[in-house]
Amino acid sequence: MALRSFKDATRTAWALGDYHRFARSTVWEVGPVLVEAAGVTAGQRVLDVAAGTGNVAIRAAERGASVVASDLTPENFDAGRREAQAHGVELDWVEADAEALPFADSEFDVVTSAFGAMFAPAHERVAGELLRVCKPGGTIALASFTPEGLGGEFFELVARYAPPLPRDARPPLLWGTEEHVRELFGDALESLDLTRLEYVEAAESPAAYAELFLETFGPIVALRGGLGEQAAELDRELLGFAAHANRAQDGGAEYPYEYLLVVARKRRR
């Protein structure tokens, strides 16, 4: 699959299902963590890349920042706007490719992405764009799943059914490794803090957790739609993953996911 076709398919996939319901049930609590780590304050100009429905962007706006939420899949913006309205904030929603951001050089005080920019296939381009739009002395803050955590196991499961990545695409989980992040940003930074953290996803039961992915997570919805008879096998594997990965001790279902928190300070002129 050519890189362009891969990106088109990715965009289509993220528009399926119900991403806002999925995000609220899974990664939503990481938004405030990233905003706190980035030190967002009132009056700053903030760009959230691959913003989804505003997990990070809305929390930054609540701090009084002027926020742009950018994403390759604008179909999710209406849900984001409704969520922002419920939080009493306004922000700009802009369709944008993380590998070619439509913003000026040094336009933002803070640039963020939570489990978003990591999925763009050309990592070097993404890192270059994050640096380009960030002001000298500004902050880039990222959250990415680590290969060693539960996210790594989940993506291994998905990869068994998905087409192989294009030759020029880099695996998303590389963003969750310290060495790769250092290589991507090179000497463009004056400081780089890398911290492994964990958050927990919860559901009523393993079956309910598996069903959440099957109903709401666009990439799974898209993948399953093209599998034909093999879709039932994916369903069984997903339920098996939800059962054995469950860490709840007293009923229900809990899934701890490790992620790499990156806080980078762009070098001043």
Q: What is the CATH number of the domain that holds 82?
A: 3.40.50.150
Query: pLDDT, tens digit, for every residue of 104-151?
Result: 999 999 999 999 999 999 999 999 999 999 999 999 999 999 999 999
Q: Residue 227 domain-assigned?
A: no
pLDDT band per the 50, 70, 90 thresholds, residue 251:
confident
Residue 231 included in any domain: no
* Per-residue pLDDT at 5 exceeds 90: no
pTM metric for this prediction: 0.96
Total number of domains in the chain = 1
Among the listed residues 96, 90, 92, 99, the one whose alpha carbon sits nearest the alpha carbon of residue 120:
99
For residue 202, give both structure tokens: 């919860």
Q: Is residue 88 part of a domain?
A: yes
Residue 131's domain spans which residues?
Answer: 19-156+163-200+256-266
User: Is residue 223, in this structure, part of any structural domain at all?
Assistant: no
Q: Could you tell me the pLDDT band of residue 241, with boundaries at 50, 70 and 90?
A: very high
| Residue 211 covered by a domain | no
- Cβ neighbours for 142, distance < 8 A, ≥ 6 positions apart: 34, 112, 113, 114, 117, 118, 175, 181, 260, 261, 262, 264
- pLDDT, residue 1, reads 54
DSSP 97: B
Residue 49: inside a domain: yes
Task: Give residue 165's pLDDT.
Answer: 87
Cα–Cα distance for residue pair 198/157, rounded to 1 Å: 21
Residue 67 — pLDDT band, cuts 50, 70, 90?
Answer: very high
pLDDT at 15: 95
Q: Of the candidates 217, 244, 232, which has an alpha carbon nearest to the alpha carbon of residue 161?
A: 232
Q: Is residue 168 very low, low, confident or very high in pLDDT (cuts 50, 70, 90)?
A: confident
Tell me whether residue 210 is in a domain.
no
What contacts 24+ positions apart, CB below 8 Å, involve 64-70?
65/40, 65/41, 65/110, 66/91, 67/91, 67/92, 68/92, 68/93, 68/94, 68/103, 68/108, 69/93, 69/94, 70/94, 70/95, 70/96, 70/98, 70/101
Tell me, yes or no, whether 122 lies in a domain: yes
Residues ≥6 apart with Cβ < 8 Å to 187: 267
The answer to whether residue 8 scores a pLDDT higher than 90 is: no
- Classify strands 108-114 and 134-145 as parallel, antiparallel or unpaired: parallel
